[in-house]
Structure 1
Amino acid sequence: MEKRLSEAALKGSVDSLLELLQEDPLILDRIIVSCISETPLHIASVLGHVDFVREILSRKPELASELDSDGSSPLHLASAKGHLKIVKELLLVDSEMCMVLNTGGRSALHVAAIKGRVEVLTQLVWDVPESTRVLTDRGETVLHLCVKYNRLEALKLLIELMNKESVLVNWKDCDGNTILHIAVAKKQIETVKFLLSTNGVEVNTLNGNSSTALDILIHSPRDLRDMEIEDSLQAAGALSVKDLHLITNDRVPSKVSRITRRLTSQQSSLKKPPVVKHKHTDWLGRKRSALMVVASLIATVAFQAGLTPPGGIWQDTYARDPNIPKDKSHTVGTSVMATTEPIEYGQFMIFNTIAFLSSLSIILLLVSGLPIKRRRWMWIQMVIMWIAITAQVVTYFIALRHMSPTDINVQSMLREVTEISVLTWLTLMAVVFIGNVVRMNLWILRKYGYIKEKETTPSAAMDDEQEEEEEEEG
């Protein structure tokens, strides 16, 4: 009988259910007291058989509170699958099942959020608003799960429905992370922007590691999304924990603007403006990071070019025919270009090796641990980088010329492209060089008093002072 009942649930056959009930009116009661892993209501709920579910609930509503071997109720299964009509029927019978956690520590609302079932989420919140306050076994709210599984639409809906529960947007899980911490850690740009535009979200909350959302971004592996996320955070007033301590003296972030205004008013009444601690723009740090990225890229390209030179490598071994004057021998695995055009191959390898070794020398200097943090060392590394980039450009044109056919029109076009490119490159290099020379001369003239300093506001004076300190370090 139990096997036939399970088959009826799989098919969603109400007629089969009624027939079984006529044969044994107590069959549903036996299901409740038996030790089966899942009831027919579980099966029908996960498969979406609405009529079958409605018929069982009308005869034995107690089955709505039965749990399977994973601790899941029929409401868990229907919510995860997104069967809205079944969810409504189950809520009418026993709405308290919204508060029950399965063995994974999740409620029906949690599994619906993880799967992004927006309609089911709406129904659950409307019928049982207190279900939004149920936490997982890791102390996570349903909002944490939306961000964790990248369900932005579900997150927007829940925050809109829970507008009176603003405390939940700043709730911390067992690791002390709010939903903003998690969104930044997972580099979810759209989610971060939405949270920053939401009222009540605190951007400078500390997690269990005493890190703000901006700290998490700074210490995470860098990629192309970081700049956009960082701009959004800073536009919303996000600070690192270091800046929070400097500005607020370990007070709450909401008082930052008030303290800043008080300091500004005091500065206007004093003869000598006080030194206000401000965020240090790590110019050298940013330059080192940029040099490391570019050097790694050039080293990779040069290494690949050395292994696969233009024209590829010979796939066989050939012995020269003495009867053919221009015939040449070659060995499998050697460069085709080295055999056919040895002079150009030598030029190609020279410039490619310069680019490769120059980029590796920069990487070696940056990771060596030597005290090369002064500005003069940074300029030396930048000059090496110019050499590496220029050698890479020459390597590119040599390869391009080798791969181009000997047709007159093609060679003429290649010559024009090369001349324009080289002229543009030399012009750019000259502009950069002249700009740096002018900047150095202006700094020398200001340092020795040949150029009078212009009057500036206190904040601008502090910025100039910081720039001069960086110049003097160089």
Structure 2
Amino acid sequence: MDERLKRAAETGNIDALYSFIHDDGNVFKRIDKMEFVDTPLHVAAVTGNTGFAMEMMNLKPSFARKLNQDGFSPIHLALLSGKPEMVIDFLSIDENLVRLKGREGFTVAHYAARDVNVHLLSQFLDVCPDCIFDLTVRRQTALHIAAESNNFEAFKVMLEWIQKTFKDSRSTRIKILNLQDKDGNTVLHLAASNNQPQMMGMLVKCKGVDTKKNNKLGFTAMDVLRRQTLADNRKSVKILKSNPHRFSKFYNFDEILPDYFREMKPETINALLVVFSLVLSMTYQAILSPPGGFAEYGAASSNSKDGREGKSVMTSFHFLAFYVSNGVAFFISFAIMISLFDVVAKNIMFCLWPLYLLMCNSYWFAFSAIAPSNSVKNFVGLAVPIVVMLFVGISSFRFRKY
């Protein structure tokens, strides 16, 4: 680079820049032809001359993606030189610069995660969410870098952002949290290798983190932790042994199902809605028309006694066998339909749950009214409210989500 042009970039002298262009109109073209070179934009990024840098971005946008002989772009140099304002200015012109890879495949997000620049890291994630997937040459994400560098603040910011951003995409969340680097280590392996109980505690609580995953040496995170002899790792071992999601598959079926349905084609979802609507109608109709009908007033039969008018003529055993199966089909059908609507019509979810609970209530009263004996009625009075309360708890959780 010409010394006069370099000096103009160092001092931020825009007038000198244009004076040089008057003398040599092809100067930037020659620089741009070089594969690895320090451009005037690189110099301005190091010295913090924002005005000059923005003028260069306007005149020659390609310089922003140019790597110098050390493998750094202007935005890398601005970040590493402690010029966060200039980094933000670069992104205001081209937000995809967040994903520009430099030396060893590092993006500015990787450097921010390594150097605990939490404010910039949050902005990178907001401006370009896909940067969380970017890998270095060692196949590490910014989350890997934070765990490897013992930077808990950066790690916490990214993990909370991942949980919030991908709360409705279980497969994506699992992919990020269990991604393995070139050595087969997940983020949990790296946190364990540094004996970081805070990081490990947050990871174990995240849904989808595989604590049993092996690295290329065949070690799980627990194996990595137990091979350490210099530090007291009892707290970390206790965290890994805990299982906060032991019953998560049961309690979180309403989150898991929608994630599977999102991968289906719209016509498949529509067909499923029709099928489960029919099942729901059939099971609800069965409560109104039990097999064999109802006992009539004055009917003379072994199953019809005084005070049994309007009751099912079935024996208690057959009545329970039929209606327990029918009730399970009813509840499952409605739960699956709720999950389907969560995918295709999320905005009306607040209407569906009250409707569901009202139908459960109606089902319960109809069931009790036609029960053939007091023992069956008492069983219904105990069992059904428990099921309804379970769904009320789930519905309350859903209301908080919507």
1:76: which partner in 2?
76
Residues 192-271 of structure 1 aligned to structure 2 (within 5 Å): 192-224=200-232, 226-236=233-243
> Contact 1:67 / 1:73 at 8 angstroms: preserved in 2?
yes
Q: How does 1:47-446 map to 2 (within 5 A)?
A: 47-163=47-163, 164=166, 165-167=172-174, 168-224=176-232, 226-236=233-243
Distance between the aligned counterparts of 2:180 and 2:35, measured in 1?
A: 39
Letter in 1 for 2:194: K
8 Å CA contact 1:79–1:109 kept in 2: the answer is no
Q: CA deviation at 1:148?
A: 0.9
Matched residues, number: 242
Q: Which amino acid aligns with 2:224?
A: I
Q: Distance in 1 between matches of 2:122 and 2:203?
A: 20
* Structure possessing the higher radius of gyration over alpha carbons: 1
The one-letter amino acid of 2:217's match is: N
The answer for the alignment partner of 1:319 in structure 2 is: none
Q: Alpha-carbon deviation of 1:117?
A: 2.0
User: Counterpart in 2 of 1:382?
Assistant: none
Q: Is the 8 A contact 1:64 1:94 kept in 2?
A: no
Measure how far apart 1:121 and its partner are.
1.8
Task: After superposition, give the CA deviation of every residue in 1:309-343 in whole Å (9 maximum; x if it has no partner).
Answer: xxxxxxxxxxxxxxxxxxxxxxxxxxxxxxxxxxx
- Give deviations 1:215-274, integer Å, cap 9, x for gaps: 2111222423x122122222347xxxxxxxxxxxxxxx979999xxxxxxxxxxxxxxxx
Is 1:3 the counterpart of 2:3 in the alignment? yes
Superposed CA RMSD: 2.8
Structure 1 residues 162, 211: CA separation in 2 closer, same or farther (over 3 Å shift)? Answer: same
Q: Does the 8 Å CA contact 1:65/1:94 hold for their aligned counterparts?
A: no
Aligned to 1:433: none
Measured after TM superposition, the shift of residue 200 of structure 1 is: 3.2
- Which blocks of at least 5 consecutive residues in structure 2 are unaligned? 167-171, 251-402
Shift of 1:57: 1.1
| Aligned residues of 1:146 and 1:154 also touching (Cα < 8 A) | yes
8 Å CA contact 1:82–1:112 kept in 2: the answer is no
User: 1:256 and 1:175 mapped to 2: Cα distance?
Assistant: 30
Once the 2 structures are TM-superposed, how far is the Cα of residue 39 of structure 1 from its aligned partner?
A: 0.8
Q: Residue 179 and residue 35 in structure 1: after superposition, are their counterparts in 2 closer, same or farther (change >3 A)?
A: closer
State the one-letter code of the partner of 1:3. E
Partner residue of 1:39?
39
Partner of 1:373: none
